[in-house]
Amino acid sequence: MTAANAQQHPADTPQHQRDRLLGLAVDHVLSNGVASLTLRGLAAAIGSNNRMLLYYFGSKEQLTVDALHSASSRFPRFRSISHDLRTSPSDLGARLSEAWDGISAAETRPFARLFFEVFGLAVNRPDVYGAWLESVAHELVDDVTATLEREGMRRSPAEVLARELVGCWRGLQMDLLSSSDERRAHLAAQAAVDSVCARVVSFMN
């Protein structure tokens, strides 16, 4: 047997198997959530077993976080928010409004439901989900901070204002998920963007 023939087929590599199982897990949690998730139940649903899932992911909690990260890649409009906030040539109001449009888009709701479900678990288990919670506290805030700095704001006040806006957006996401009146959330989001823009102008003056 030649060395080339002895090499693993890509489909047989551990990374491929992990990616395959992760993809199946993402399908499952997007459809069923994670509140009642067990490794045994997930393994049965995706045609695997506990031992295999523990081998590739280490724990149910790590699998949950990995599935959430992987799920976000299925929603390109949501994934583009960071890049667009930092690089779009549009004015500040348009950049922030476009970010909210991506966050609130109907097609991103399955991810939003999963995000808040995992968040609810994480805040009760910071010992397990601490690293993920820390990343959540910074990711979108850092993007908005960067776009405010582009307007000339100093880092410290830009970060405070960004955290205020992101907190508002997340609250309004929950409103969208729990209410049939989307108009209220969109009006509130626009008012928040207008307020941020006015305060940036005031700061610069």
* 102 and 85 housed in the same domain: yes
93 and 188, same domain (yes or no): yes
More confident residue, 31 or 10: 31
Task: Let me know: does 33 contact 113? Beta carbons within 8 Å.
Answer: yes
Q: What is the pLDDT of residue 6?
A: 46
**HSE on the CB side for 149, CA within 13 Å?**
13
Residues 86 and 49 both lie in one domain: no
Q: Does 84 reside within a domain?
A: yes
Separation between Cα atoms, residue 65 and residue 29, nearest integer Å: 11
pLDDT in tens, 108-121: 999 999 999 999 99
CATH number of the CATH domain containing 110: 1.10.357
pTM for the complete prediction? 0.85
Q: At what angle do helices 109-124 and 14-32 cross, to 10 degrees?
A: 100
Task: Identify whether residues 104 and 64 lie together within a single domain.
Answer: no
Please check whether residues 59 and 136 belong to one and the same domain. Answer: no
In a shared domain, residues 62 and 147: no
> What is the mean pLDDT of the segment spanning 49-54?
95
Torsion angle of C-alpha atoms 163, 165, 167, 172, degrees rounded to 10: -170
Residue range of the domain that includes 111: 75-204
Residue 203 has a pLDDT of 86
Q: Are the C-beta atoms of residues 189 and 105 closer than 8 Å to each other?
A: no
70, 88, 109 - which closes a domain? 70
* Mean of per-residue pLDDT scores for the chain: 92
- pLDDT tens by residue, 171-205: 999 999 998 899 999 999 999 999 999 999 998 77
In a shared domain, residues 28 and 111: no
Phi then psi for residue 153, to 5 deg, are: -70, 150
